C-alpha cells in the first residue's frame, strides 16, 4: 500500500507531531541559554578557564557533564555565588562633615 502525500499533507502531519511532542519533551531538552560552557562561565565570573576546571575537578562548583565537557546551569551558579558570598562585618564609614 502506497500513499502519495503532497507538501500540505506533510506540513500538517509535521505540525501535528510537533504539537503532540511539546507536552512530552522536557524543558531541559529544549535549547536553553541558561546552560554555560567553561569559557562562558569564566567570562561570567571574570576568572580564567583553568580556575573553572580546577573547581570542577574538586567538585566545589555545581556542574554536570555533556559527554566529557563540563556544563553549568546559570540558576545553580547564581545560587552557588549567593552561598559563597562573604557578608560585610564592618559598619559603613560615617559621612564626614565638611566645614565651610
Q: How many Cα neighbours within 13 Å face the side chain of 81?
A: 11
Whole-number CA gyration radius for the chain: 25
Per-residue confidence band for 17, with pLDDT thresholds at 50, 70 and 90: confident
Q: What is the pLDDT of residue 27?
A: 55
- Helix and strand numbers, DSSP H then E, in the chain: 4, 3
Are the C-beta atoms of 64 and 98 separated by less than 8 Å? no
Q: What is the pLDDT of residue 6?
A: 80
Are the C-beta atoms of 61 and 67 separated by less than 8 Å? no
The whole-model pTM stands at 0.57
Question: In CATH, which of 3.40.50, 3.90.105, 3.10.450, 1.25.40 is domain 32-83?
Answer: 3.90.105
Encode pLDDT of 39-90 as tens digits.
999 999 999 999 999 999 999 999 999 999 999 999 999 999 999 888 878 7
Q: Which residue has the cell 555565588?
A: 81
Amino acid at each position: 500500500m502506497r500513499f502519495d502525500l503532497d507538501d500540505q499533507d506533510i506540513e500538517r502531519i509535521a505540525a501535528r507531531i510537533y504539537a503532540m511532542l511539546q507536552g512530552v519533551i522536557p524543558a531541559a531538552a529544549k535549547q536553553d541559554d541558561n546552560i554555560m560552557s567553561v569559557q562562558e562561565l569564566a567570562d561570567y565570573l571574570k576568572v580564567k578557564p583553568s580556575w573553572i576546571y580546577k573547581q570542577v575537578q574538586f567538585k566545589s562548583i555545581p556542574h554536570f557533564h555533556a559527554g566529557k565537557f563540563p556544563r553549568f546551569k546559570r540558576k545553580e551558579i547564581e545560587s552557588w555565588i549567593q552561598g559563597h558570598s562573604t557578608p560585610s562585618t564592618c559598619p559603613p564609614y560615617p559621612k564626614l562633615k565638611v566645614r565651610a
